[in-house]
């Protein structure tokens, strides 16, 4: 039962990673609100480490200096830095949490806990957001090419849809504008900078956060829609929407079905073909379908065996974006109407 639950969570994470990250980070922010408030400097340091691991080698390459990327040397750091670069795991959900605070009912206890650490969450979000932006900023000049020299861009062989390429290019250019807006909003979240600005100037600047949220939606939608119309620059092959992987019965001396593929391709006599694992339901799988000797048993398929095509995932991402930002607008308008009444 527990394994089934974890498999289901893993399956949901592959389908709608943004929604899963948003739910998990919201829960952690509420549970750790007192700790984050009390030990904010420690959390800043922890979040700054992956940022430094990615950004320092990146800036070094810009100036022709090669610096060892620890994310490639330390396995678990590699996973963490990938989450930082992707932004959908940490940076984007944190911005959504901060955005939602202004639309939620302040009387709710868990909302009060989130509001108590809004400044801290704003600062924490900056590290993965800046990591993502700096890693993607190199695509902006090429994206400009779609508008400045469209003929050469279209002739590059990376375009299967002019509309898709245009949406992607616009989204990358908009990302650069967002970076220019996000940096002052992020820097002024620090108390020392905020005190020097004064409350009036600080509030005026922070109103630009609404423009940032709107651009965030347009940017994310443009990336997803552009990728659907022009997958991987026009080179990606179409894939089935949903594919259930057949149940595999393991032979006594087999641990990984993938390891049998080279034997099938190289044709090492009848023995190699007999040992090959065959999917259940094929025409010649009588021996493979029998339980393995020594108490082995046939494995049943789980949620992790369901493969979802890239286009289907993009549809789910777009639906998630509409759900998140649509709900925010509804809650924001409802709160405004309640205040006016």
pLDDT digits (tens, 9 = 90+) for 48-67: 998 998 899 889 888 888 88
User: 264-281 pLDDT, tens per residue?
Assistant: 444 444 444 444 444 444
Residue 110, pLDDT score = 93
Instruction: Band the pLDDT of 182: cuts 50, 70, 90.
Output: very high
pLDDT at 209: 93
Which one, of 20, 176, 9, lies nearest residue 83 by Cα? 20
Would you place residue 179 in the very low, low, confident or very high pLDDT band (cuts 50, 70, 90)? Answer: very high
Q: What single-letter DSSP state applies at residue 45?
A: H
**Res 194 pLDDT > 70:** yes
pTM for this prediction: 0.74
Alpha helices by DSSP H, listed for 117-267, are: 118-136, 140-148, 150-154, 162-187, 191-197, 199-206, 208-229, 261-266
| pLDDT value of position 269 | 44
- Whole-angstrom CA distances from 322 to 68, 264, 282 are 40, 46, 42
Task: Indicate the helix (H) or strand (E) that contains 242.
Answer: strand 242-244
Residue 249 pLDDT > 50: no
């Amino acid at each position: 039962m527990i394994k089934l639950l974890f498999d289901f969570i893993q399956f949901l994470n592959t389908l709608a990673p943004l929604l899963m990250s948003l739910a998990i980070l919201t829960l952690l922010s509420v549970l750790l609100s007192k700790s984050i408030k009390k030990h904010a400097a420690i959390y800043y340091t922890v979040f700054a480490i992956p940022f430094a691991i990615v950004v320092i080698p990146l800036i070094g390459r810009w100036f022709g200096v090669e610096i060892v990327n620890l994310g490639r040397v330390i396995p678990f750091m590699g996973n963490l830095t990938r989450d930082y670069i992707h932004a959908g795991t940490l940076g984007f959900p944190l911005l959504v949490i901060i955005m939602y605070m202004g639309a939620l009912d302040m009387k709710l206890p868990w909302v009060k806990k989130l509001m108590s650490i809004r400044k801290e969450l704003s600062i924490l979000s900056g590290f993965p957001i800046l990591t993502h932006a700096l890693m993607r900023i190199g695509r902006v000049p090429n994206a400009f090419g779609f508008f400045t020299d469209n003929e050469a861009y279209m002739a590059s062989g990376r375009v299967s849809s002019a509309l898709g390429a245009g949406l992607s290019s616009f989204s990358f250019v908009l990302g650069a504008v967002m970076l220019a807006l996000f940096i002052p909003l992020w820097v002024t979240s620090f108390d020392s900078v905020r005190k020097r600005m004064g409350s009036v100037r600080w509030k005026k600047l922070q109103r630009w956060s609404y423009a940032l949220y709107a651009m965030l939606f347009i940017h994310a939608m443009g990336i997803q829609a552009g990728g659907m119309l022009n997958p991987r620059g026009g080179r990606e092959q179409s894939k089935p929407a949903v594919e259930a992987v057949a149940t595999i019965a393991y032979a006594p001396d087999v641990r990984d079905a993938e390891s049998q593929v080279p034997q099938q391709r190289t044709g090492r006599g009848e023995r190699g073909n007999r040992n090959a694992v065959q999917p259940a339901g094929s025409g010649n799988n009588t021996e493979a379908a029998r339980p393995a000797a020594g108490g082995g048993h046939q494995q049943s398929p789980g949620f992790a065996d369901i493969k979802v095509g890239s286009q289907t995932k993009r549809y789910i991402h777009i639906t998630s974006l509409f759900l998140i930002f649509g709900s925010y607008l509804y809650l924001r308008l409802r709160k405004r109407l309640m205040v006016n009444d």
